[in-house]
Amino acid sequence: MNDKIRVGLIGYGYASKTFHAPLIMGTPGLELAAVSSSDETKVKADWPAVSVVSEPRHLFNDPHIDLIVIPTPNDTHFPLAKAALEAGKHVVVDKPFTVTLSQARELDALARSTGRVLSVFHNRRWDSDF
């Protein structure tokens, strides 16, 4: 039995490489299980044991993924978060959460109706000097 929260990370650009992947791998109780990326070589150079898939939908369809992290371009946050929630995943989205208030409200309602956790990523939220 795996007691860790298995995380699927969408994309492997600056935010994923610099913040998300290292924070996930360095946090007890979390496991970076898979990354959706068009550049498998870049992911494997840093995390050789992590699975790489070509499309985010593969993360959504994976029954072993518990949480999806979305550090993608702003206009993709809403559709990706919605698809992840509809697939039964918990979701963390980079700032800005969505590009419209109506999108934010829709995601909030969807998360509540499915019993999933939906959160905005704050990389320095608990730092004492921030």
Q: Which residues are identified as catalytic?
A: 95
Q: 82, exposed or middle or buried, with CB in 10 Å at 0-12, 13-18, 19+?
A: middle
Q: What CA–CA distance (Å, rounded) separates 103 from 12? A: 24
For helices 77-86 and 101-114, the axis angle rounded to 10 degrees is 10
Q: What angle do CA 14, 54, 21 make, to 5 degrees?
A: 35
CA distance 70 to 57: 13
Q: Which residue has the tokens 């039995």?
A: 1
The Cα-based distances of 39 to 13, 44, 69, 85 in angstroms read: 10, 9, 18, 25
